[in-house]
Each structure stands twice: as structure tokens, then as C-alpha cells.
Amino acid sequence: MIQSFNINNKWKKRGISFVPTVHKVLSRPTPGKVSILNDDSIAIEVGGIELGQGLWTKVKRMVAFALRKLWSDQNQDLLERIRVIQADTLSVVQGGWTTGSTTSESSCEAVRQACNILVDRLKPGKEQFEEKQGNMSWDELILKAQMIGVDLSAREYYVPGPSGTYLNYGAAASEVEIDLLTGATTILRCDLIYDCGQSLNPAVDLGQVGAGCYL
């Protein structure tokens, strides 16, 4: 189609380029801290910085997912209770740098492990209470935990194992049109294929990959 267009047009020409890529990913040790406050809200601290890559959105969703496991039907909506606090080197030590497209997954795993600690602390009291009075809400659970002296803050330092090093695959194909008289260039189409494994947040990841096409 491009060859035919170029033959039949003297002052406008089209071109196409296809570029595959293989990127080696190296995850790094990353800290994460999850705290349940007196107002039943949840505060997260991670070593990474929000640069528009959706890091905070992803860690919030991971915490909501991990803490909902306290209920067998996972019907507790905790996302609106969660906020991310911009950490510093005293509150979250060994934060490291934010780069290489690995900070999100490492931070999410760190807060997931921290949530597992909180779940283990909260579960015994929840089960004892529900044996006597039936199902309890998040607010009731946290109030009960405060009364019996449960530690509601957990920190974890995620250290990746052998699976922390892997290959990412992708490809891009772009079609452009150039006006030979004015030099104007138009991107007619750009198709991307990216293997991100199990996406932490498909909407965020799709937007990030799409934005990368125009950088």
C-alpha cells in the first residue's frame, strides 16, 4: 500500500518502520510501610517517587486487594480509605532510586508483604469476635484491634529472588507521511505490542505505554 501511494503521489511520500525490542529487567530491594490510623484510614509509604507512571495508584490498589483478604467474600471496599504519604529517607530507609520501570512492581510487592503481616495480626481477633457476634465491618475490626493492643503498622523490605530478573518484550510499527514541499510530517498510525506480564493496573499501564509512543 505504501509503495503504491508513493508511486502515485509526487509531492507526498509515506514510510513505515517496525522496531522490536527486548529489555532486561532488574528488580531491586524496595521498602514499603502500611499503617492503619485511628480514624480507620490507611497510610502507605514507599521508597519510590510518583513521576506520572501511576506508582501511587498501583500501590493503593495493591493494599486494598491485600487487606480485603480478611473477608472470605472480599466485599470490603477499602480503596477510598487509602492515601499515600510522600516518604523521606528517615521514615522509609533504603528507598533507593525511581527508574528502570521496576519501582512500581517492587513497591507493590513490599506493601503486599506488609499487608500480609497486618492480616496475620488482625485475623485471630476478627475470628474470635465473629464467633460471638457475627460478621464485622472494617471500622469494627480496627476499633477492636485498638482495644486489644494490636500493632497496626507494618514495614517490609522486599528482596527479589531469581524471578526478579527477566526479559520484557515489545514491538512498535509506525506509518508516517511527509510533504516534500513543506517538510510537514504526519504520523498516520502507530501500533504497539507490549508484554507486561500480569498488569498491576491495566488502565494505567495502557496509558503509560501509549504515552511512550510519542516521547
CATH of 2-25+164-212, picked from 1.10.150.110, 3.40.1440.60, 3.90.1200.10, 3.30.365.10, is 3.30.365.10
Q: What is the pLDDT of residues 203-212, one digit of tens each?
A: 777 766 655 5
Return the percent helix, strand and coil in the chain, to nearest 5. 40, 30, 35
The predicted pLDDT at position 173 comes to 94
Residue 131 has pLDDT above 70, yes or no: yes
pLDDT tens for 168-183 read 888 999 999 999 999 9
Q: Do domains 2-25+164-212 and 28-159 have the same CATH topology?
A: yes
pLDDT number for residue 168: 83
**Every domain of the chain and the residues it spans:** 2-25+164-212, 28-159
**Predicted confidence band of residue 154 (pLDDT cuts 50, 70, 90):** very high
Query: Looking at domain 28-159, which CATH architecture does it have?
Result: 2-Layer Sandwich (3.30)
pLDDT digits (tens, 9 = 90+) for 49-95: 888 788 899 999 999 999 998 987 767 789 999 999 988 888 888 88
Residue 114 has pLDDT above 60, yes or no: yes
The region of weakest confidence among 84-88, 99-103, 112-116 is 99-103
Strands (E), the chain: 12-26, 30-36, 42-46, 82-84, 153-158, 165-179, 185-194
